[in-house]
């Protein structure tokens, strides 16, 4: 199991933009169709904005129409962790970075094959690195 990264709130705040901090460390959500990656179609990998953990590959990204970057699978199962989220009167499954606990978004069971899953992520929690 990879080493966990633990930092204080102040440390995270210093190294992230305000929006990144609000989403990744305070479980915020960027507004739909406003993030920098929902409509990105380039080939590459999506890293955790907090710790650099490689979370998603562009080859599992698809157009879900929901306004957030959507993937049908993480790069590897152990790169993410999930938890039940009962906030806002809903029952959702939260997705977090397994290495630093960053809030990434939620996973829903309305995705495409082969998994049937939609990892609905916040651009603010991700850092895209282009690969040719």
Question: In the complex with Fe ion, which residue's Cβ is closer, 3 or 10?
Answer: 3
Question: What does the alpha-carbon distance between residue 25 and residue 125 come to, in Å, rounded to a whole number?
Answer: 9
Q: Which residues pair with 1 in a beta bridge?
A: none
Catalytic residue, chosen from 48, 50, 100, 120, is 120
Question: In the complex with Fe ion, which residue's Cβ is closer, 102 or 107?
Answer: 102
| Touching Fe ion, residues 16-75 (CB under 5 A) | 48, 50-51, 53
Shortest CB 65 distance to Fe ion, Å: 27
Question: What does the alpha-carbon distance between residue 83 and residue 39 come to, in Å, rounded to a whole number?
Answer: 27
Question: In the complex with Fe ion, which residue's Cβ is closer, 97 or 107?
Answer: 97
3-state secondary structure 77-99: HHHEEEEEECHHHCCEEEEEECC
Residue that is written with structure tokens 């699978």 in the block: 73
Question: In the complex with Fe ion, which residue's Cβ is closer, 46 or 68?
Answer: 46
Total residues in contact with Fe ion, by rule CB under 5 A: 8
Residue 50 known to be catalytic: no
| Touching Fe ion, residues 89-118 (CB under 5 A) | 97, 99-100, 102
Shortest CB 97 distance to Fe ion, Å: 3
Residues 6+ apart with CB under 8 A from 70: 38, 61, 62, 63, 64, 111, 118, 119, 120, 121
Contacting positions for Fe ion (CB under 5 A):
48, 50-51, 53, 97, 99-100, 102
Catalytic residue set = 120
């Amino acid at each position: 199991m990879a080493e966990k990264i633990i930092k204080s709130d102040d440390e995270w705040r210093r190294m992230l933009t305000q929006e990144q901090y609000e989403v990744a460390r305070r479980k915020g959500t960027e507004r739909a169709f406003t993030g920098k990656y929902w409509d990105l179609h380039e080939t590459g990998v999506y890293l955790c904005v907090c710790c650099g953990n490689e979370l998603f590959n562009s080859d599992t990204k698809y157009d879900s129409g929901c306004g957030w970057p959507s993937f049908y699978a993480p790069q590897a199962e152990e790169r993410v962790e999930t938890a039940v989220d009962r906030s806002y009167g809903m029952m959702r499954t939260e997705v977090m970075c397994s290495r630093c606990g960053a809030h990434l978004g939620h996973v829903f069971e309305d995705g495409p094959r082969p998994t049937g899953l939609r990892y609905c992520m916040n651009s603010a929690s991700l850092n895209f690195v282009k690969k040719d």
